[in-house]
Amino acid sequence: MREPIIAIDGPSGAGKSTLSRLLAERLGFTHIDTGAMYRCVALAVDRQQLDLADVAGVTRLCDNLTIDFLRTSAGQTVHLNGEDISSAIRQPHISLLTSRVAAIPEVREAMVAQQREMGQKGGVVLEGRDIGSVVFPDAEVKFYLSASARERGRRRFEELRLAGQSVDLEQTIAEVEERDLADQGREHSPLVQPEDAVLIDSTGLDIEQVLARMLDYVAAKRPQGAGA
Ligand code: DC
């Protein structure tokens, strides 16, 4: 029996990245940050100054992108056609462009195909917005992580500030709300909570508490003897 596929969905700033990373580390699973993949497409669109209305051009671009996640001693890095773009894809203007890029059906099709390829063997933690609903609807474990928009905006603000970016708290909260609306309101694969997902609201909870809850749940779903 193979190891499970773990799907983690939820809005931005709900703690998905940190928890997916920790969960994957603790289980020895591969961590696939699908948001980073859409960010890579947005970065390439931005660099090539492509018009998003040029769907054929954007589709061609997606077909020529090689996205790799590499494990280093400093954590996981994201590479686009061999270049480490881990920081470049986190710039606020790329975040906003990513919401628009991720709403293009052809982009989603290309990314979903890559994500299925990367995850099909199991032993993976995939984080995103549509993992449990579209990418792997049969995933053995599905979590939906949430937190209030204010709390999520505050967390994103701290993250950006620590990364040395000059940001404004209220503006960051407004951007989180704007992205929520775009992600939930889009026609193609909007952010939804799958019915069979375990809901965890992380407002007021610390990372260790949430992680312990997730690990307990996963333990019950793993093949007998695994991870013992
Ligand atoms: O998780 P994140 O903030 O890095 O995601 C960046 C953007 O990509 C965000 O606007 C939501 C979108 N996204 C998506 O539409 N589907 C996914 N599976 C992952 C992210």
Q: What is the average per-residue pLDDT within 95-118?
A: 95
| The pair of three-digit structure tokens given for residue 182, joined into one six-digit string | 């775009």
Q: What is the β-pairing status of strands 30-33 and 141-146?
A: unpaired
Give the closest residue (by CA) to ligand 1 atom 15: 102
Give the closest residue (by CA) to ligand 1 atom 20: 35
pLDDT at 196: 95
Residue 9 has pLDDT above 80, yes or no: yes
CA angle 144/149/150 to nearest 5° reads 135
Q: Please state the atom number of ligand 1 nearest to the C-alpha of residue 12.
A: 3
Around ligand 1, the residues with Cβ closer than 6 Å are 12, 34-36, 38-39, 98-99, 102, 128-130, 179, 183
Residue 227 has pLDDT above 70, yes or no: no
157 within 8 A of 151, measured Cβ to Cβ: no
Cα(111) to ligand 1 centroid in Å equals: 11
**What interhelical angle do 92-101 and 34-47 show, nearest 10?**
100
Rg (CA), the chain: 17
| The pair of three-digit structure tokens given for residue 146, joined into one six-digit string | 């949430």
Residues 44 and 65: their CA atoms lie apart, in Å, by: 9
Cα(223) to ligand 1 centroid in Å equals: 30
Q: Considering the chain, what percentage of its residues have pLDDT values greater than 70?
A: 98
Q: What is the average per-residue pLDDT within 178-207?
A: 88
- Best probe residue, ligand 1, of 98, 107, 145 (max atoms within 8 Å of C-beta): 98
Quick check: helix, strand or coil at residue 177?
helix
Residue 225 has pLDDT above 70, yes or no: no
pLDDT at 228: 53
Q: What is the average per-residue pLDDT within 106-129?
A: 96
Specify the DSSP element, H or E, that contains 68. Answer: strand 67-72
Q: What is the average per-residue pLDDT within 28-50?
A: 97
Q: What is the β-pairing status of strands 75-80 and 83-84?
A: antiparallel
pLDDT at 114: 96
| The pair of three-digit structure tokens given for residue 117, joined into one six-digit string | 């390829």
Q: Which residue has the higher pLDDT, 181 or 198?
A: 198
Cα(1) to ligand 1 centroid in Å equals: 31
Give the closest residue (by CA) to ligand 1 atom 11: 99
pLDDT tens sequence across 45-72: 999 999 999 999 999 999 999 999 998 8
Give the closest residue (by CA) to ligand 1 atom 10: 99
